[in-house]
């Protein structure tokens, strides 16, 4: 009877473990993979990104990284930053229609970048390495998917080539994805309006003009009176001389 109870308890525990694994995902954690950092950039601009490569093997080192640029989103300018101990090879392909960059029509675009370790520069177990790249102008698409191959010193190759589905579960071997957002609209500053004279200013201007006119009229009248007075005085002095 006791043995039967123990057997039933063990079976129940095993069943509970299976259910928990299925429901809550208590499985082995997913392995790290090659990613792009940062994960977002702006359409039409230039961006500096870095392919971050973790080493997953406990015994082998990463010796080569191959990154394929998406064919549906060609980029006119692609430049790499030197990584100590690594060489980089650049492959190009023809593009039609051409890509316009700063007024020039480019008929070729970079299709693949391959970094290869030299000497003791390979990414060792427990380490990661970043491979910086400058891209632009970035295309008018929602995202760029970079299919990537990671080669180890023991000959194994990790193929990060599965394109993730937006809103879906991450695939087992996801490719690095750069999300592109639309540039913010630019608005021209409104022209500054000139000062507008109010009614008080108009009234002041009219009052000042009237006062000035009256002042000038008074001055003219005064000068005229002074002239008439001078003539009268001169006539008065001449009349006595004539009588004499």
pLDDT in tens, 221-239: 554 554 545 544 445 455 5
Alpha carbon distances (Å) from 205 to 84, 198, 200, 219: 78, 11, 9, 21
What size, in residues, is the chain?
244
Break the chain into its structural domains and give their ranges: 30-181, 208-244
- N- to C-terminal Cα separation, the chain: 176
Cis before 137 (ω within 30): yes
pTM of the model: 0.65
pLDDT of residue 133: 98
The helix (H) or strand (E) run that includes residue 48 is strand 47-54
Phi first, then psi: give them for residue 192, nearest 5 degrees. Answer: -70, 130
* Superfamily covering domain 30-181: Uncharacterised protein YcnI-like PF07987, DUF1775 (2.60.40.2230)
- Supply the DSSP symbol for 178: E
Mention every residue, 6+ apart, whose C-beta is less than 8 A from residue 58: 125
203: its two tokens? 């009234």
pLDDT in tens, 108-133: 999 999 999 999 999 999 999 999 99
118: its two tokens? 């030299």
């Amino acid at each position: 009877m006791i043995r039967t109870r123990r057997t039933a308890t063990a079976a129940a525990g095993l069943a509970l473990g299976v259910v928990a694994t299925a429901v809550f995902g208590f499985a082995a954690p997913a392995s790290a993979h090659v990613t792009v950092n940062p994960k977002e950039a702006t359409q039409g601009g230039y961006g500096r990104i870095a392919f971050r490569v973790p080493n997953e093997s406990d015994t082998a080192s990463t010796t080569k990284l191959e990154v394929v640029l998406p064919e549906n989103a060609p980029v006119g300018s692609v430049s790499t930053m030197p990584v100590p101990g690594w060489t980089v090879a650049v492959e190009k392909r023809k593009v039609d229609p051409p890509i316009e960059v700063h007024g020039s029509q480019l008929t070729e675009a970079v299709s693949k970048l391959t970094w290869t370790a030299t000497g003791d520069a390979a990414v060792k177990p427990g380490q990661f390495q970043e491979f910086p790249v400058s891209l632009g102008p970035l295309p008018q698409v929602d995202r760029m998917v970079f299919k990537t191959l990671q080669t180890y010193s023991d000959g194994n190759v990790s193929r990060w080539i599965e394109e993730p589905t937006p809103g879906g579960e991450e695939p087992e071997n996801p490719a690095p994805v750069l999300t592109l957002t639309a540039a913010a609209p630019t608005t021209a500053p409104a022209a500054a309006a000139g000062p507008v004279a109010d009614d008080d200013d108009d009234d002041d201007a009219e009052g000042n003009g009237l006062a000035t006119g009256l002042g000038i009229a008074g001055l003219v009248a005064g000068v005229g009176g002074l002239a008439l007075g001078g003539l009268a005085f001169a006539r008065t002095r001449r009349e006595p001389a004539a009588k004499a």
